[in-house]
Structure 1
Amino acid sequence: MPFADAAKALARIFVGSGFPWATPPTFRRTVATLLDQAGVPIATIADQLGHTDPAMTARVYLGRDLMGDKPSVAEHL
């Protein structure tokens, strides 16, 4: 089954189950976030997601942690 067909089938299941927010990209971001939080190197995460550019993985799938651990940053200031 091609990816687009699989994504559409999953979308129908999620919407029918009351989870319209759940999409394949949502799960990819979740995997990237969990791997990042586990300390997996960004290059390994990028490889797992099939990306050649780890910077793109970080920018698109990890984004900024706006609720980050500010006290740990403050100790370096």
Structure 2
Amino acid sequence: MLFLHTVAASQSGGNSNMPTLETPRLRRLLTLAEAAEALRKNESQLRWMIQKKTAPPHAKIGGRVMFDADRLAAWLDEQFAEAS
């Protein structure tokens, strides 16, 4: 699932009087099932991690728990760094 996120960016030319443009940024969102698969866990294990506050960063969007793929990858990198 892709989520459109807008980020303010100034126009080229460096003129501070120019209005800013909204630059779209696509964000890859993972469902609970997709994140669980990426972590090699089952959904109930990932729900338990959420309950215990040990899960990767996530948000409830439209009543569904979603994970940003980039933040999930960064969280995994942190876990490996801490284990070293």
TM-score, L = length of structure 1: 0.25
The structure whose residues are more often strand, as a share, is 2
The structure whose Rg is larger is: 2
Higher-RCO chain (CA-CA 8 Å, sequence separation at least 6): 2
